[in-house]
Amino acid sequence: QDNMKVIAVALVLAVIAFVVNAESAFDPNIMKAVNSNPQNKWKAGINKFAAMSVEEVRAMLGGQVPQYKRYTEAQMRIIAQRAAPSNNPTSFDARKQWPDCVHPIRNQAHCGSCWAFGATEALSDRFCIASNGKVNVVLAPQDPVSCDYSNYGCNGGNLQYVWEYMKSTGVVPEACFPYVSQNGTEPACPSTCIDGKTSFSSQKYKLKSYEKVSPTFLFWERESKIESALIQSGPLETGFTVYQDFLQYQSGVYHHVTGGLLGGHAVKIVGYGVTSDNIKYWIVANSWGTDWGIDGFFWIQKGNNECGIEADVYDGVPDLSHVPQPLN
């Protein structure tokens, strides 16, 4: 019965694709390749991307990150030889460690603003964690989307540039500048908050400092450094390469199986763990809404730089010396 449903959906999508002259983002052959192989540690299924074209999905992937698959066998041997023993626990979940500070899953919709979501979500959580819950604010991804001129709004962004923006300029709260770029367009950067009277610049939350956690060359140190930064200070932003099979992720530990490359994507790492059969994974918050993946989250293989997930990770210290007065 499930197979019949898949075939029916595939036929409908094929007709839609033919009518609009667009390639469907959903490929039933990918789902079959993933689910029919017991060696794969995750399950694929039908979700909202079945109604979208490949081009629509590419427009959402706005993370300007290097394109990776995973470490080579030679690199994995080097890691086994050179990685220092870690004193970190085998599992950690920021959602359990700081339940009031790790904020809910969001939805970027049809805008390539993942770079802004991952950054502002990580900084929101970190303000709360660093202040022991006193500064519990949801920062506005719309701010960098509209106002960070070093990046490209709904057409994508660079992780280092947005972290520099959060340090030099800062980000206003969601209450000041709610997200309105769901349709893929950006309003101009305003001078006042949505109330029409509060100065936009007076509402900025800033970073005191930031750093790229994952070393560029000493790749065998990345895993433990990411773990340590997460345990000490909270969620982190990272980028990775998205292949077509990732769109169909439903559960389990993702690793790329099949399907073409779609682009770069930015997300928020909130934890890590290991399965009963000893597969290590990162716990990651996506910005595609709660109707995708594991209520908006996904697990991805850890320790092998799966799709580049460990190569471009950012960590920052919130500036608690200057916290704006909350909007009424």
Known catalytic membership, residue 103: no
The pair phi, psi for residue 139, each rounded to 5°, is -85, 155
Catalytic, out of 114, 154, 176, 307: 114
Q: Which two tokens stand for residue 317?
A: 């210290």
CA distances to 71, 98, 281, 304 from 75, rounded to whole Å, are 6, 35, 18, 9
Q: Which two tokens stand for residue 173?
A: 């709260």
Please calculate the CA angle 121-196-185 and round it to the nearest 5 degrees.
Answer: 50
Please calculate the CA angle 113-231-268 and round it to the nearest 5 degrees.
Answer: 10
Asked whether the beta carbons of 104 and 132 are under 8 A apart, the reply is no
Q: Which two tokens stand for residue 249?
A: 């992720």
H-helix or E-strand containing 168? helix 159-168
Catalytic, out of 35, 151, 286, 305: 286
**DSSP-based three-state secondary structure for 35:** helix
Residue 213: count other Cβ atoms within 10 Å of its Cβ. 23
Residue 183: count other Cβ atoms within 10 Å of its Cβ. 9
Q: Which two tokens stand for residue 185?
A: 């367009």
Known catalytic membership, residue 265: yes
**DSSP-based three-state secondary structure for 25:** coil
Question: How far apart, in whole angstroms, are the C-alpha atoms of residue 102 and residue 85?
Answer: 29
H-helix or E-strand containing 147? helix 142-147
Known catalytic membership, residue 110: no
**DSSP-based three-state secondary structure for 105:** coil
Q: In this structure, is the dihedral angle defined by the CA atoms of residues 244, 250, 254 and 257, taken in order, positive or negative?
A: negative
Residue holding tokens 């300029």? 169
Please calculate the CA angle 154-138-325 and round it to the nearest 5 degrees.
Answer: 120
Catalytic, out of 40, 128, 265, 304: 265
Integer-rounded Cα radius of gyration of the chain: 20
Which of the residues are catalytic? 114, 265, 286
